[in-house]
Amino acid sequence: MLAVMYHEGLQEYDFGPGHPLQGNRFRIFPEFLKKTLPEDGNYRFFPGEAVGDEDLRLICTQEYIDFTREYFRAAHAGLTVSQSRFGRYHSMDNLPQGRPGKLEEAARLIIGLEKRACELVMAGEYPGALCFGGLHHAKPGYGEGFCIYNDVAFTAKHLLEKYGLERVLVLDTDAHAGNGTAEYFYESDRVLLIDIHQDPRTLYPGTGFASELGRGPGLGYTVNIPVPPGAGDRSYELVFDELIEPVVWKFQPQIIVRNGGSDPHFADDLTGLGLTVAGFNMIGRKVRKLAEVCAGRHIDILGSGYNLEVLPYAWMSLVAGIADFKVDVRPPFEEAASDRAVAHTEKVVEEVKKNLRKIGKYFA
């Protein structure tokens, strides 16, 4: 059984008409889930509430919260807002277009639902929970990449602070490197961030190189796996078998927080990777297997994906793998399954292993 954390207010996470991030994904997917698989015996929907400033302060400065709240609330209300201070707190890709949704409230709701997910999973009521958000580019005092409050970082920090966990694995499978999340935990040995993403020389945010391994006590607790453009199912399988699985086995996490949506799909409009819908299912099954080290405990966070035709199939396929749903997710569109980047990916895997060996981590 999977707990699905959902509130229709999530749809308000919408930067306005013409912006690549629209809130309709948070309506499309739950509808697709209900249509594809009956709730009984498979999953159950849970509501949640938006968090207040006190919770947000776990991941943000009050100054940043104040600006972000005022700015996005005014933009939603249709008020003319001065953009003069915007650049101090946000990059221009976070600038709403036209009338955005109640985006700031929705970002608080994303975190509130994840907080509730932590409660359910830590109480042992559900082994796993599915959440929506994954705003992994946001930093303590700066929003970017369509992200205002980093809910992935919140979830991991909340698990450390409220539940006293010592070892949390954050597995970021989004096509883009989670530069925000990395910044939060770069010096921590309590959160292992494994981040598989498209080579930063070819994609925003331009960080997440194999040489970035953490600092101080956090050295070896950031593992970046920058795969080449075109990397598809076989490349990802290789990365999981050769790198992720042995590293996770050594780290022995007490819970897995996975984030990332469908933007590594080959038909995504913003990225250049090569996964198929079946590849997402493979990733889901790998995560399910990894979670055996922590009694199945996991929190899964979906959010990205800029081809809305692909999005529900890829998300569903991933979730079906993680939750072991007996459902065959077949997309109505043609998929090219070839992966021409395998040889290149093998080299990346070797490089990452070499770097980790050098600092005496995970590989002998």
Q: Active-site residues: which are they?
A: 137
Identify residue 103 by its one-letter amino acid code: L
Instruction: Kindly tell me the sign of the dihedral angle through the C-alpha atoms of 349, 350, 353, 355.
Output: negative
Question: Helix count (H) and strand count (E) of the chain?
Answer: 12, 8
What are the distances in angstroms from CA 297 to CA 48, 77, 196, 258? 20, 40, 21, 11
SS3 of the chain: helix, strand, coil, percent, to 5? 40, 15, 45
Q: How far is the CB of 146 from Zn ion (least distance, A)?
A: 8
Q: How far is the CB of 132 from Zn ion (least distance, A)?
A: 14
**Residue 302, strand partner residues:** 132
Which residues of this protein are in contact with Zn ion, per CB under 5 A? 174-176, 263, 304
Closest CB to Zn ion among residues 7, 197: 197
Going by their DSSP bridges, the two strands 168-172 and 191-198 should be labelled as parallel
Closest CB to Zn ion among residues 37, 148: 148
Instruction: Give Cα 223 to chain centroid, integer Å.
Output: 15
In whole angstroms, what is the distance from residue 157 CA to residue 272 CA?
A: 31
Peptide bond into 205 cis (omega under 30): yes
In whole angstroms, what is the distance from residue 40 CA to residue 285 CA?
A: 22
Closest CB to Zn ion among residues 181, 345: 181
Closest CB to Zn ion among residues 212, 242: 212
In whole angstroms, what is the distance from residue 233 CA to residue 227 CA?
A: 12
Q: How far is the CB of 15 from Zn ion (least distance, A)?
A: 14
Closest CB to Zn ion among residues 176, 265: 176
In whole angstroms, what is the distance from residue 212 CA to residue 186 CA?
A: 9
Closest CB to Zn ion among residues 212, 268: 268
Q: How far is the CB of 175 from Zn ion (least distance, A)?
A: 5
**Residue 222, strand partner residues:** 193
Query: Per-residue DSSP letters for 133-162?
Result: ---TT-BTTBBBTTBSS-HHHHHHHHHHHH
Q: How far is the CB of 82 from Zn ion (least distance, A)?
A: 30
**Cβ burial 134-169 (10 Å sphere, 16+ → b, else e):** bbbbbbeebbbbbbbbbbbbbbbbbbbeeeebebbb
Closest CB to Zn ion among residues 263, 300: 263
Q: How far is the CB of 312 from Zn ion (least distance, A)?
A: 17
Q: How far is the CB of 335 from Zn ion (least distance, A)?
A: 20
